[in-house]
Structure 1
Amino acid sequence: MGLISDNDERAYLEEIIHLENWCQENNLLLNVSKTKELIVDCSKKQERHYQPVRISGTMVERVDSFRYLGVHISQDLSWSCHTNSLAKKARQCLYHLRCLRDFRLPSKVLWNFYTCTIESILTGNITVWFGNSTKQDRQALQRVVRSAERITHTELPDLQTIYYKRCQTKARRIVKDPTHPNNRLFSLLKPGYYASGVPNDWYVDVVVFTVAFLWFSFACGIPSVSRGD
């Protein structure tokens, strides 16, 4: 990860050179064919043109999105590409769920199949992307859940509920682990502050945002946030 500031690419290109030199010194070989360059430009100015990146004389492919740890990250930092991929993959599994139903298997078996396959696909790394996904993207994923409900004739948990529960579980694990590098980002509320009229959803959203930010920081190699004295 490198930073391009004031349209000056020198620091960014120097980081790539340092990485290449470090790999050579440690007898490591970079696979340029599997290396991708993703530029995130949040400015509203006209489209800028950046120098091509070369490693060992080979040009690195520049992409609009790439998959990292099962999550599609786009250059506009939206999650439409990722949710579209999940919806497509999950809809393919609905066919197998219908086949099991046609075999007249018990509802418990259908529910187990849904949980192990379709729900697993839809909720993979959900604490990272669901909170910032658009309403349209969420509805597309939820339609898959509704289709599964009609097939299994059972009520299935919605994605919003799963999202909140997993964020809270992750936050509790960090709070209980004093050795976790991000444990200091969580602090207990003062007595009586919880009942001061602040909506409960506000606390949930804070926990959800913190968990999502921590995962994204880890995935992108961003150092943990530190507070100065």
Structure 2
Amino acid sequence: MDDFTYALENKNSIDTIYFDLAKAFDTVPHSLLVSKLYKVGIQGNILSWINDYLSNRTFTVRVSNHYSEEKHCTSGVPQGSILGPLLFITFISDLPTYCATPGITLKLFADDLKAYNVFKNRVNQSPLQIFVNKFSEYCHLNGLKIAIEKCSVLYLGNSNPSTKYFINDIVIPHISSEDSVRDLGIHFSHDLKWDKHINIITRKAIRCSYSIFKSIKSRNPKILTNLFNIYVRPILEFSSSVFNPHLDKDIKSIEKVQKDFLRWVFRRINPKTELPEYHDLLYYFKQESLFHRRIKADLNLFHQHVCGTITIKNNNSYFISKANTRGFQNIISISCNTKARFHSFFVRTARLYKFIPQHMRNSTPEHFSRLLVNFDISQFIDSLPNHLKRHFYNF
């Protein structure tokens, strides 16, 4: 995501192809897998054990009480096992080297694969098409099949020429302006706005919260709020540091899910009492606004990055001054021309992090996380300079 906003800030275009492998875990040839395991150093008794684990496996299909004949399984890694994903990752570990193409960035997570190219002016053949050709060849050699109809191209940038890409002379479908593409649970659109993603997760969260309220007849508020926190809140907060919205309409849309649920619960246990305001409901049920929770999640992740606990490419989105007086670190946030860059994770969080109390910033990531639990975000926002405060929604 940071690569995308950085490219747009520099008036570049980005073409991203999302690939889909048809039944990836089921089509891995056993003989080729064993050969690759040997090449990466898994040999001797361990390799023999894995070979035996994969060999002579059979399966049947059950329909009601009827079973099909047993069939031998000559390919694929056992799904639902711990070893299965590890074997698949090892099997495709040579993919980045085989498909390496200048100008192409490859992101791989299990069988989820995307490749993108950042460019200013394109004259010759796109390096992304060269990568596609290599990837297609790799899949052919390794017994994998690309589900072309499930692949997609995402075009970013105002001057993007929307180049067509082909797999076996078939055009890869592109993401229209009305659609989005799912990337590890986050829905990306051509303008890098988050309204489509937020619409999807709020609808799902509303269905889940409604099911909880209708299915669980308890009048115990702790039980009901705990169920909301366990099953609904993760839907709304998964990878929130990527999409944390800044528009009031999006913030309110997410917050409304919790607001409505707390109202339902309050009505159930206090049917004749007037509904309190949302901030009073939060206090009554000992809940925290989702907006404040997202800010804390941003700060927590940013602190881990500053401390070096996690490594994330940030494209010089912020700087730490060399001046160091009694452990003081001065965080310098950059200026931006595009909204996408201005509201991206590193840029927006750097603006906040430098106002966090110094004793918190000097703490370990584990201690920082504990301190954040009782940190008053409302008071923190009130203490910000006016030019930053106006970017926050107050409850």
TM-score (norm 2): 0.43
Write the mapping of 1:1-229 to structure 2, written as runs, cut at 5 A: 1-8=116-123, 10-11=125-126, 12-43=128-159, 50-64=162-176, 65-100=180-215, 103-130=217-244, 132-153=245-266, 154-155=281-282, 156-177=287-308, 180=311, 187=320, 190-191=324-325, 205-206=349-350
Find the residue that maps to 2:230 and give its secondary structure: helix
Counterparts of 1:162 and 1:190, CA distance in 2: 31
State the percentage of identical aligned residues: 18
Counterparts of 2:305 and 2:119, CA distance in 1: 33
Q: What displacement does 1:29 show? A: 2.8
Instruction: Extract unaligned runs of 5+ from structure 1.
Output: 210-229
Deviation digits for residues 141-195 of structure 1 (CA, Å, limit 9, x no counterpart): 1111211121223523112211122122223333444674659988587337969
Instruction: Extract unaligned runs of 5+ from structure 2.
Output: 1-115, 267-280, 333-346, 354-395
Deviation digits for residues 98-145 of structure 1 (CA, Å, limit 9, x no counterpart): 3256x2331111011110122111111111101x44221111111112
Counterparts of 2:297 and 2:310, CA distance in 1: 21
Q: How many residues align?
A: 198
Q: Greater helix share, 1 or 2? A: 1
- The Cα RMSD (Å) is 3.5
Deviation digits for residues 53-84 of structure 1 (CA, Å, limit 9, x no counterpart): 21023221111320011100001111110001
Worse overlay, 18-27 or 149-158: 18-27
Counterparts of 2:214 and 2:263, CA distance in 1: 14
Find the residue that maps to 1:38 and give its secondary structure: strand
Q: Greater strand share, 1 or 2? A: 2
Counterparts of 1:115 and 1:179, CA distance in 2: 26
**Residues 110 and 32 of structure 1: CA distance in aligned 2, closer, same or farther (over 3 Å):** same
Counterparts of 1:148 and 1:177, CA distance in 2: 39
Counterparts of 1:176 and 1:59, CA distance in 2: 45
Find the residue that maps to 1:162 and give its secondary structure: helix
Q: Is the 8 A contact 1:167 1:208 kept in 2?
A: no
Q: Is the 8 A contact 2:154 2:174 kept in 1?
A: yes
Q: What displacement does 1:86 show? A: 1.2
Q: Is the 8 A contact 1:90 1:144 kept in 2?
A: yes
Q: Is the 8 A contact 2:213 2:224 kept in 1?
A: no
What one-letter code is carried by the residue in structure 2 that aligns with 1:10? Q
What one-letter code is carried by the residue in structure 1 that aligns with 2:148? V
Counterparts of 1:90 and 1:178, CA distance in 2: 32
Q: Which structure has the larger Rg? A: 2
What one-letter code is carried by the residue in structure 2 that aligns with 1:166? A
Deviation digits for residues 18-49 of structure 1 (CA, Å, limit 9, x no counterpart): 33234344444322122111111234xxxx65
Counterparts of 1:63 and 1:53, CA distance in 2: 13
- Map of 2:34 onto structure 1: none
Find the residue that maps to 2:117 and give its secondary structure: coil
Worse overlay, 92-101 or 171-180: 171-180
Counterparts of 2:261 and 2:290, CA distance in 1: 13
